[in-house]
Amino acid sequence: MDARLRRVNKEITDCKNDKASNVQIELIDNSPFHLKGTFQGPEDTPYEGGCFDVDIVIPEAYPFQPVKMKFITKVYHPNVSSASGAICLDILKDAWSPVLTLKSTLISLQSLLCSPEPNDPQDAEVAKHYMTSKQSFNDTARYWTHIYAGGPEVSGAVKGSKVTQDDAEQDEIAMAGLEKAHVDQFESLGFPRSKVIEVLRRLNYRGANVAKINEDRVVEELLK
């Protein structure tokens, strides 16, 4: 049997038998070389309670070349692209070793969520947010975990404290990772604020993306 196929099959079986690690690997289509990995957000982080899906592509020369992984679930993290899910992690590039497995790589991703490396960012906007205000970053990350990864509803500090109507709205925008000016801009066209936030968040209307996304496109989405 093809060495690569044997190895991947063995890895999938091993992962199924190992209940302790909380890492799952499933087939996406009929190919054993295109998989979906799933793991839980680590405890005591803004990702706690979330369930994160990772797209896995096994290259031709595996295991002598690193696997290709990217997040399917949207993650608000300095080393993960908020738009594409691309991951910046050394073992997926030059620090790869053939003895690493899909499972150990997914566990490494899990620990990447625990310990972000903002100095080597994949998403500069998110990294900036992390560096300037850890608290606000955590709120946004938790909010994204809730919205995209099925994490618990955001509670505590933000919603529990007595804040004015305006502050609460602003927090809602900040947590979605958006700019108030952008939300105001589309709200002024007569769309309800909540709808604007929802659409802009879905389009990932942030940072460099703002220039790429045509305003007409946003309006089109809003009219749907």
Partner 1 sequence: MSSDYEYSDDDGDYYDEDELMDQDDQVANHSADSAPSEEEMDIDAFDLPTKGKQKSYHIESTTLSKHDLERAMDENIEYIAGIFGIEPEVASILLRHFEWNKEKLTEKYVDNPTGINAEAGVSAKPNPPRSTTSGSSRSTRRTTPASSRSKKSLSVEGPFVCPICFDDTQTRTLALACSHKFCTECWTAYATNKIRSEGEFKTTCMAEECTLVATDSFIQSVLATDLPTFDRFKELLARHFVSCNRKLKFCPYPECAQTVSCPAAASKFALTTIIPIVNCGDEKHKFCFACPIEDDHRPLICSVSKLWTQKCRDDSETANWIKSNTKECSKCQSTIEKDGGCNHMTCKKCKYEFCWVCMGPWSEHGTAWYSCNRFDEKESVEARDAQSKSRASLERYLHYYNRWANHEQSAKLSMDLYAKTEKKMEEMQLTSALTWIEVQFMKKAVDEVFRCRMTLKWTYAMAYYLQKGNEKELFEDNQRDLEKAVEDLSELLEQPIDTETIGALRQKVTDKTVYVQKRNEIVLEDSAQGYLEGRWKWNTPVEGFD
Nearer to partner 1, 10 or 217 (CB): 10
- The rounded distance, in Å, linking the Cα atoms of 161 and 4 is 55
| Residue from 212, 190, 194, 191 nearest 203 by CA | 212
Nearer to partner 1, 100 or 203 (CB): 100
Nearer to partner 1, 97 or 161 (CB): 97
Nearer to partner 1, 90 or 184 (CB): 90
Q: Which one from 15, 51, 88, 114 is the annotated catalytic residue?
A: 88
- The rounded distance, in Å, linking the Cα atoms of 18 and 102 is 13
- The rounded distance, in Å, linking the Cα atoms of 23 and 201 is 28
Exposed/middle/buried for residue 100 (C-beta within 10 Å: 0-12, 13-18, 19+): middle
Residues that bind partner 1 (CB under 8 A): 3, 6-7, 10, 61, 63-65, 97-100
Catalytic, 88? Answer yes
Nearer to partner 1, 33 or 191 (CB): 33
Catalytic residue list? 88
